[in-house]
Structures are given as structure tokens and as C-alpha cells.
Amino acid sequence: MGNIYNAVAALAEYAVKKGLIAEEERIYSRNLLLDILKLSDYEPDMSEEEIVKKSEDLEALLKEICDYGCENKLIEENSVVYRDLFDTKVMNCFLPRPSEVIRCFYEKYEKSPKEATDYFYKLSVASDYIRSYRIKKDIKWITKTEYGDLDITINLAKPEKDPKAIAAAGKAKQAGYPKCQLCIENVGYAGRLDHPARENHRIIPLTICGEEWGFQYSPYVYYNEHCILLNSKHVPMVINKEAFRKLFDFLRQFPHYMITSNADLPIVGGSILSHEHFQGGCYEFPMARARAESKFTVKGYEDIDAWILHWPLSVIRLSSKDPERLVELASHILDKWRGYSDEEAFIFAKTDGVPHNTITPVARKRGENYEMDLALRNNITTKERPLGVFHPRNEFHHIKKENIGGIEVMGLAILPSRLKDELKLMEEYILEGRDIRSNELLVKHADWLDEFLPKYEGRIDKENIADILKNEVGQVFKGVLEDAGVFKCNKEGRDFFKRFTDSL
């Protein structure tokens, strides 16, 4: 291995260049890193120009430092989980304290909200809290459908734990601090095998409807400037009038962002229902471009434009210059939906006292108007559909089995990393005419391939096979979204949908 001091010097140069630390803090921060590496000397042998050049590749720098840590028993196991815990500690040597980040954010906010978020996002990337070199590996494409373009991604940014780390985490004493990965106590937390390190994490305090909240970015960035707005208290998700009001209070402060909330019930909610939070960002989702299918009016709210959207899920769009009026109407619709049953449409508000109806809301500002999209959700299960009647059906599970949360409601698929290798392997088997069912990794896709491959007969070659498979994956995602729709996009479903809007 090369001279480790060169990597230390280059990382300090990187931090100064990216504005993480001032020039006056170079020596101080460098010495913090030397202590982590158990080094008492500092003897780089590269020229200043070579150090500057070396500082341009953060991923390579951290790899070199982690390799040194493994070789010198500073890292217990040479695996992604242990290395991530270690390199986060390394990066924290070069970060401003939370109070300095907050001060700088609000200094820039005085000029414009966008300048403030630009600063904070760049810092979150430069600090390696957002590992941009991993996110660049995500596979993305667009699939055209009758609802418009859908955004499809195979997520490779979130590392999969290796078996040794999973086993070690299982044997470790279970900790209850922080209570979850969204708690504000994550700031500066060193992490453990079952909880990511967050020493390079910073949260901006916000006041939302008179309450203390925090603003941060998602480390996995599923879309541009993917941010998270989180309650400073560990309280469960809830969809109600106050939640709608909070969404618009955030938009008032950051009008260049959109904001959404996962639903508050299992199956149709997100992965973390135990901590109230919203997700936003600077991104136009496919659903935002969906066309209006039919317009309707709600008595007492004639001043608000309301439409049923042409979208695979059952979505109502509201538009007004007055966000408080939108809150009032959205709350009225939510209350009606919570208690709404239509046996013919297989919509039951409750069974055995268990509630099933809720809403996934999305808020944005479009020109001078505020908009709110309300996706009607229902989590009822049956013996035939134990994971949910309005959940992806079994024949789609080879592509997508997980719950459909707010991000996917809006038309952005987040598909499992395993599909990268599986799709590549499918290409080989199809081109070579091999039996898909002979491969235990691919057999789950066999029925799906049998269904669509005949329509491409005689037209598949090595130039188009990848695009064909991507398109068909996108069509499966369209089907997944249609499954989540409580009122289907056919005449019968639209009649059921109208029956609900007429009841408002």
C-alpha cells in the first residue's frame, strides 16, 4: 500500500476545496484523522500538485483509508457495513459543527430558500453523507404508458448487508437508541452493525405549524434533492387535517420543492410508520404531469378546482390560490373516505373494527396556485390476497413485492438491486435460447417471459434485448400501480369513482 499520509493530506485538501472546513482548520482536522488512524507522525511524500490531483477522487481516497484500516486491524471485518461505519467517522473530522451548518443555512435562506437548500444539499454530498458515487450506479430509464411516462429505477445506492454482518448484528445486544433512523438523535451517532453511522449527518431545525421539526436529505436520493421533513419527536405517522396543513406550511417556506406523506396504515404506508415524516424534493414526478380525466365540484367548495386524474391509482387533484381552502376540502374528502364503503366496488371502510381507508397526499405549488393530489388507499386483505387486495398481485412479485409508498404512487419505481444481475442473465439466456427454468435465480421470471416474448418473435437481437426487458419491467410497474388503484381505470371503475365523488 502507498504512503497513507498522502491520503490524509489529500482528504484535507478535498475538505478545504469543497468548503467543508476553512483553511485555518486544515491542520486541526488532519490531526483528528491521524488519531483515528493511530498515527503519531505525518510524512506525506507527494508534491503539493500531486496532493491536489489526488484529492479529486473522494471514493478512491476513502477506499485507500479503509484498506489501511483493514490491514492495521482498525476495521474489524473487511465488509461494506464495517467500512461504512469507519469512513463516516473519518469524514466527520472534516465537517463543520451542526450549529455552524444551521447558521450558514439561515444566512443563505435570508437571500432565498433555494440558495439555502442548494448549500445544504451540496454539503450533504461533499460530506459523503450522500454517497454520490454509489447513486451514480443506479440504473434508470423511462417507460411509456397510456398514463404518460413512468420513471423506473433499480436502486444500487443502498448497500446490501453481507451475511457476516447480519449474523453479528443478530448476536449483538439490541439497542433502542436512536429509536429509529429518522430521529434527530441520529446527528453525530457513530452507528452500529444494525444502524448506519451518522457522524457526517446534519439536520436543519424548522418550525412547522408551531412545532419543532427537522429538515434533512435522504442519504439514498431516490430523486433530485430527495429531502425528509421529520417531527423532532418520535411520534407515529398520521394523516389528518393537521398533516395537510403541515405540508402546505413547508411549501410556504420552500415553494420550489414538492412534498408528500406516506399513508398511515400498514400495507399502503411506507417503511417507517412509527415516526411522523414527509418526503419532498426538487423533482417533477410523472403523476404531476398526469392529465385531468374529469372535473367535479364539491358543494361548499365551488371556489376550488377538483379533478379525477387519468392515473393508475385513484387520485383526486385539488387546485386553489388559497392553501387553507385546500386543507379544508382535503380534510372533508379524507373524512368521507375514512367512512366510505361500497360493497360492489369491494371498498370496506372497516372489517372487524379495523380501519382500511386512508390517503396518500402530495402537495406542490404550480405558478400562483397550490395543488394537492389525494391518492385514495385501502389496505383490506383476503385469503386470496393476504398481502392486500390493492397490493401488487403475486405474479408481479418477481419484479416488485414491497409496499407502494408515496414515491411510487407518484410514478417512480424503486426496484430491488437483484434485478441488475437478473436482467443481464436473462439477456444471455434469451439470446442463446437456453431454458430459463433451469436457472434457480431466473425461474421466478419464467411465466412472465413466456407471456411477453412471443410478441417479439423474430425481432430480438443483442442490440435491442436490454431495451425490450426494461420496457416490460416498466409495464409490470404500471400493473403494480393499477393494482394499488381502488377504482380501476375502466368504465365500471370510473363509475364507482364518480359514485364516491358524488357523495362528497
**Which pLDDT does position 280 carry in this prediction?**
98
Q: How confident is the model at residue 175 (pLDDT cuts 50, 70, 90)?
A: confident
Confidence grade of residue 171 (pLDDT, cut at 50, 70, 90) = low
pLDDT at 181: 94
| Share above pLDDT 90 across residues of the chain, in percent, rounded to a whole number | 92
Q: pLDDT value at position 272?
A: 83
- The arithmetic mean of pLDDT across residues 214-238, rounded, is 96
- Tell me how crowded residue 281 is: count the other CB atoms within 10 A of its CB: 24
Banded pLDDT at 365 (limits 50, 70, 90): very high
**pLDDT tens readout for residues 443-491:** 999 999 999 999 998 899 999 999 999 999 999 999 999 999 999 999 9
Return d(Cα 74, Cα 167) in angstroms, integer: 20
Residue 458 exposed, middle or buried by CB count within 10 Å (0-12, 13-18, 19+)? exposed
CA distances from 406 to 96, 285, 336 (A): 33, 11, 21
Question: What does the mean pLDDT of the chain come to?
Answer: 95
Q: Three-state DSSP class for 458? A: coil
String of DSSP letters for 22-61: -GGGHHHHHHHHHHHTT-------S-HHHHHHHTT-HHHH
Q: Per residue in 280-289, pLDDT tens?
A: 999 999 999 9
**Beta-strand pair 139-145/211-217:** unpaired
Q: Name the least confident of 15-19, 359-363, 392-396.
A: 392-396
Read off the pLDDT of residues 101-148 as tens digits, 9 standing for 90 and up: 999 999 999 999 999 999 999 999 999 999 999 999 999 999 999 999
pLDDT at residue 270 greater than cutoff 90: no
pLDDT for 347: 98
pLDDT recorded at residue 415: 95
Q: Please check the confidence at residue 190 and state whether its pLDDT lies above 80.
A: yes
pLDDT at res. 340: 98
With 90 as the cut, is the pLDDT of residue 174 above it? no
Looking at residue 156, its pLDDT comes to 87
Mean pLDDT throughout 395-411?
A: 94
Query: What pLDDT does residue 89 have?
Result: 98
Condensed to tens digits (0 to 9), the pLDDT of residues 297-340 reads 999 999 999 999 999 999 999 999 999 999 999 999 999 999 99
pLDDT in tens, 60-82: 999 999 999 999 999 999 999 99
Residue 167 has pLDDT above 70, yes or no: no
What is the rounded radius of gyration, in angstroms, for the C-alpha atoms of the chain?
25
Compare 257 and 266 and report the one with higher pLDDT: 257
Instruction: Kindly state the average pLDDT of the residues 384-399.
Output: 94
CA distance 323 to 497: 25
- Supply φ then ψ for residue 208, to 5 degrees: -120, 115
The residues pairing with 212 across neighbouring beta strands, listed in sequence order, are 207
Q: What is the pLDDT of residue 165?
A: 52
Average pLDDT over residues 198-206: 98
Percentage of the chain beyond pLDDT 70 is 96
Q: How far is residue 313 from each of residues 306, 330, 406, measured CA to CA in Å?
A: 16, 17, 11
Per-residue pLDDT, averaged over 492-496, amounts to 97
